[in-house]
Amino acid sequence: MNETNLPERPGNAAALGLEAEKLAARLPPLLIEAERLSSIVGLGVHGRRKAGTGETFWQFRRYAQGDGTNTIDWRQSAKSQHLFVREREWEAVEAVWFWCDMSEGMHFASDRAIPTKFDRASLLALALASLLIRGGERIALLGSGRLPAGGRVAVNHMAHTLAESAPNNQTLPPDTAVGKNAQLVWLSDFLSPLADIEHKVRNIAGAGLAGHLVHIIDPAEQDFPYSGRTRFEWSPARLSELLGRAESAREEYCRRFQAQADSVSAFARRLGWTYLAHRTDHRPETALVALYATLGGVPANNGGARVAVT
User: Does 137 lie in the same domain as 82?
Assistant: no
> Each residue of 262-285: pLDDT tens digit?
999 999 999 999 999 999 999 999
Residue 259 has pLDDT above 90, yes or no: yes
242, containing H or E segment: strand 239-243
Q: Give, in order, the Cα–Cα distances in Å from 179 to each of 51, 52, 146, 176, 210.
A: 23, 22, 13, 9, 11
Are residue 64 and residue 200 in the same domain, yes or no? no
**Residue, of 109 and 27, whose pLDDT is higher:** 109
- Calculate the dihedral angle through the C-alpha atoms of 34, 44, 114, 185, rounding to the nearest 10 degrees: 60
User: What does the angle CA 72 – CA 76 – CA 77 come to, to the nearest 5 degrees?
Assistant: 65
53 against 271, higher pLDDT: 271
Amino acid at 269: R
For residues 119 and 115, give the distance between their C-alpha atoms in angstroms, rounded to a whole number: 6
Q: Which residues pair with 211 in a beta bridge?
A: 184
Residues in the chain: 310
What span, in angstroms and rounded, lies between the C-alpha atoms of 218 and 113? 12
Q: Which residue would you say has higher pLDDT here, 35 or 133?
A: 133
Residue type, 256: R
pLDDT of residue 144: 85
Among 88, 111, 136, the domain-final residue is 88
Task: Report percent pLDDT > 70 for the chain.
Answer: 74
Q: Is residue 291 one of the residues assigned to a domain? A: yes
- Rounded distance between C-alpha atoms, residue 171 and residue 279, angstroms: 19
Burial class (CB in 10 A: 0-12, 13-18, 19+), 134: middle
Domain region containing 64:
57-88
Q: What is the mean pLDDT of residues 231-249?
A: 82
Q: What is the DSSP string of 73-112?
A: -HHHHTTSSS-EEEEEBP-PPPEEEEEE--BGGGG--SST
Q: Rounded to an integer, what distance in angstroms lies between the CA atom of residue 42 and that of residue 127? A: 10
**Residue 186 sits in the same domain as residue 277:** yes
Helices (H), the chain: 13-25, 29-42, 74-77, 117-134, 152-163, 194-206, 219-223, 250-270, 284-297
Are 83 and 201 in the same domain? no
What CA–CA distance (Å, rounded) separates 114 from 271? Answer: 33
Residue 221 and residue 133 share a domain: yes
Check whether residue 64 and residue 119 sit in a common domain. Answer: no
In terms of domains, do 272 and 187 share one?
yes
Q: Are residues 77 and 117 in the same domain?
A: no
**Closest by Cα among 135, 131, 100, 133 to 118:** 100
**Do 227 and 104 belong together in one domain?**
yes
Please report whether residue 34 resides in a domain.
no
CATH number for the domain harbouring residue 238: 3.40.50
The string of pLDDT tens digits covering residues 287-298 is: 998 888 888 643
pTM greater than 0.75 (yes/no) = no
Residue burial 144-155, b: 16+ Cβ < 10 Å; e: rest: beeebebeeebb
Please check whether residue 80 lies inside any domain of the structure. yes
Q: Give the pLDDT confidence score for residue 268 in this predicted structure.
A: 92
Q: How many domains does the chain have?
A: 2
